[in-house]
Chains A and B, each alone.
Chain A
Amino acid sequence: MMMAVDDEHGEPSPTISVGNPEKCVTIPLGRSTASRVAAADVSSLKVGETETGMLVAIRGAVVWKSDEGYEYVRCGPLTFHLKHGTDGASPTVSLGPGSGQMFTERAISRLRNALERWIQREICLSFADAVILFDGSLTVGTPDNPTAYLARILDTARKRGNVVSAFSKSTKLCAFGRRITSLVSTAQAPCLVDVDQVVTRQFNTYPVRLAGHVYVAKLVEDGFAFRLDIDREVSKDARIEAMNRLIASDVVMQGYPETLRLAHIFSAFTANEVIAVQRYLASAHGLRISPRLSIRKSLFGPFGTWEAA
């Protein structure tokens, strides 16, 4: 089972290494021939709590750029009632350490991950010679995040000529005493800065493995820099060519590919949709929506801390 890897949540923070940033190679990018770009993202959300567990909604989206513009397929929301503790756990979900609330949180993560990996495998199977964009990183190897599943997805992608790249909106990785995204501040866009060597060195003592070659991508001038993982098994030239095709094929706003941005937008839940899911659950399952009891508020009223306000 793969761990949910969204913007490196759950990824260990490696030791800060200090050295010479000059050792990182800056790779200039240039527009190449256009190709198909596809992106996938999945969102999960707690929509409520019951006395025995938690109500969860999950939704995934695939967006790709075709000749007619952007197209999408969206799956969900799918709703689940996850009971606290292991009693209500589905036998198909392997249990890790922890129970109660912690178990529920992990179960949400696993549900979300299951949908995400399924969608990722489907787009790797459906597209050919495309640049496939994932949200987050290509880090594997934790108890919840075994290597095999992502490896199969990447393998499928490679067989169909696809190159899988993962953009992290935020990263905790540091090199030379600072965040890796700051390493490109003086570089001229579009470019990649290869930080793989310095980053992988930091993970030597961890069980996790980086299935992607780690870069910092600065795709437009005055845009943001992002951690970028590109399938390690793809040749270096193919990785760079994939990025050249990406900037030639997709709109890149503020340094972030539009296709991936849309996938995020289509999968994310708005406040309105949360209410809609709650309304559905109330009408379909006879649940009554009531505000969450705040012990702090009940005890202290207006004299509580700012958090209770």
Chain B
Amino acid sequence: MQLISYPEEDANKGDYLVIEDQRSRKGLIIQIIDIQFANIPGILEDILRDVMTEESIHGSDVDPLDISSQVAVLKDTKLLLCKIRGALEDGRPTRNVGWLPSRINSCISRFPIEDVACEKSPNRPIFLGGIKENPRFIIDAKALDGKLNIVTGKKGTGKSHLSKLLAMSLLDHGAPCLILDVNGEYTNLTRRIGGERSPYEGKIAVLTPRLTLRFTLAEIGLGTMLDILLHALDLPGTSARVFARIWRQLEQDNDLTMKSLGEAIASSDCHESVRDALQSRYNTLVDSGIFADDPSAASSYSLVERLATGGAIVVNMKNQSFMIRRIVVELLLSKITELLSRGRLRAVFLFAEEAHLYLRETYWDDIVTRMRHLGIFTTFITNQPDTIQESIYRQADNIFLFNFTNERDLDVVSRAAKVDGESVRLLVKDLPAGHCLAIGDVVRDFPIVVNVRPLDVETLGGTRFFFEENELTCST
């Protein structure tokens, strides 16, 4: 749908309008997805004439009817490219959009989309930021519950900022969060920007592999260990069967420690190649430093307790090798899945930054199917949208899109099932930093551009610079 907009009318991309048909008493809710100059015949001729004559020719106009101002209006008249998002029947929003309003008997006005996209007073409010003419745009945390979310955008546009906001808002409502942090951006959320303690101190625990994230073999269990060996360390199936036999024997002997596991592998009577395979994996496990024989050094219980009481755990994987990241994630997901299956945890909100760096291929489908039903509700955060499988985009319940200018990236994100590709392309490519296009259940499928609010915590996500501003000033 295309609308004409005169210069005095303030219309921006993402704005919602309603076209009310006076006769049928119905209205169409539309969203502006692109703004162009109205291609009026002869406009180029006018502009060329102005340009060619404005410097070389001076004069005066006797224009008693002030037509020249009308011409100026026409030159700046815009064409609003809009998409139909819904309808109003007797003031109530509906999805019945199989009709068109009259071109003659309709009036167009701004539509307060928050009235239909969100609860007026949600039980679990999350203050996301501001939208046009409403500085307090609030969504319901319930819209993130049991959902698959994606936060994506190019570098420096505010993805991590939004994911922190979502995680902390969920924490405010007592929701347990597990954050897989590859850049160490979430490690200081317990501090305000000035350095004082934030209200989240005591609610967020930062676990670092080797230092504070350690497990005993008994805590891990054979199933989780086999997941690590098979998926993270690529142990062949035959060797895995030998490993399972050794593990069970040690369990029977009540001697399940890293030391005795190493000795058992070394002395096992299996084929030499199997023994070598097991030995090399064992050495990797030892080198990872996340396995402890001393139960007091292990963190598994605190992990469970923290999540069960509505806290957040940040797994700081900064400066960790690819192998360690995979082992840690495999271990945590396996462990949490087990805890959820046993009912020791109700649900967990998982925030996975740059998941392609540590998540194995088979987990993508697992996350949107099995794990989701168990109670792991994932939010993927990435600046490389093509690293997330297309099936994830199609099944995502909520997508928060920040600016992308690269056509290929726009191609990928436009595959989201919750909105048409054209809207995504046109709205996202012009989003300013800190603004996102919220799509999906959080906005009841009315895509809304949100200016994400600032956070009063240390986010550590900014790029570190070598040159300082004042240094530059001095040198010049």
Contact = CB atoms under 8 A, between A and B. Distances in A.
B45 interface: yes
Interface in B25-78: 40-43, 45-46, 49, 53, 56-68, 70-71, 73-75
A68 B53 CA distance: 13
Given A77-B67, A270-B46, A272-B42, A279 B74 contact: yes
B46 A273 contact: yes
Given A79-B65, A275-B40, A69 B70 contact: no
> Which of B45, B65, B74, B75 has the most C-beta atoms of chain A within 10 angstroms of its own C-beta?
B65
A73 B59 CA distance: 6
A275 B42 CA distance: 10
B357 to A, nearest CB: 56
Interface string B345-359: 000000000000000
Contacts of A118: none
A184 interface: no
A172 interface: no
A176 interface: no
A263 to B, nearest CB: 11
A71 interface: yes
A279 B74 CA distance: 10
Given A69-B56, A70-B56, A265-B49, A273 B61 contact: no
Contacts of B65: 77-79, 277, 280, 284
Interface in A48-77: 63, 68-77
B165 to A, nearest CB: 47
A71 B62 contact: no
Contacts of A279: 70, 73-74
A271 interface: yes
Interface string A77-95: 1110000000000000000
A276 interface: yes
> Which of B46, B56, B63, B71 has the most C-beta atoms of chain A within 10 angstroms of its own C-beta?
B71
Given A78-B64, A271-B45, A272-B42, A72 B70 contact: no
A4 interface: no
Given A70-B57, A270-B46, A272-B42, A76 B70 contact: no
Contact of B42 (A63, A72, A270, A277): A270
Contacts of A265: 49, 53
A270 B75 CA distance: 12
Contacts of B70: 276-277, 279-280
B43 A77 contact: no
A284 B67 CA distance: 11
B59 A272 contact: no
Contacts of B67: 76-77, 273, 276-277, 280
Given A272-B40, A275-B74, A74 B46 contact: no
Nearest to B43: A272
B59 A71 contact: yes
Contacts of A180: none
A262 interface: yes
Given A76-B62, A78-B64, A273 B57 contact: no
B59 A72 contact: yes
Interface string B243-260: 000000000000000000
A77 B70 CA distance: 12
B46 A272 contact: yes
Contacts of B58: 68-72
Contacts of A270: 42, 45-46, 49
A63 B56 CA distance: 12
Contacts of A284: 65
A78 B64 CA distance: 8
Contacts of B71: 272-273, 276
Contacts of B63: 74, 76-77
Contacts of A273: 46, 67, 71
A275 B63 CA distance: 16
A79 B64 CA distance: 10
A262 B74 contact: no
Contacts of A280: 65-67, 70
Nearest to A70: B57
A70 B53 CA distance: 9
B58 to A, nearest CB: 5
A132 B60 CA distance: 20
Contacts of A276: 67-68, 70-71, 73-74
Contacts of B41: 271-272
Contact of A75 (B45, B57, B62, B68): B62
A72 B73 contact: no
Contacts of B75: 272
24 contacts: A63-B59, A69-B57, A70-B58, A71-B57, A72-B59, A74-B61, A76-B63, A76-B67, A78-B64, A265-B49, A270-B42, A270-B49, A271-B41, A272-B45, A272-B71, A272-B74, A273-B46, A275-B40, A275-B74, A276-B67, A276-B71, A277-B65, A277-B67, A279-B73
Given A73-B61, A74-B60, A262-B53, 5 more contacts: A69-B57, A70-B56, A73-B62, A75-B62, A284-B65
Sorted from nearest, which 4 A-B pairs have the closest CB atoms? A271-B42, A72-B59, A276-B70, A276-B71
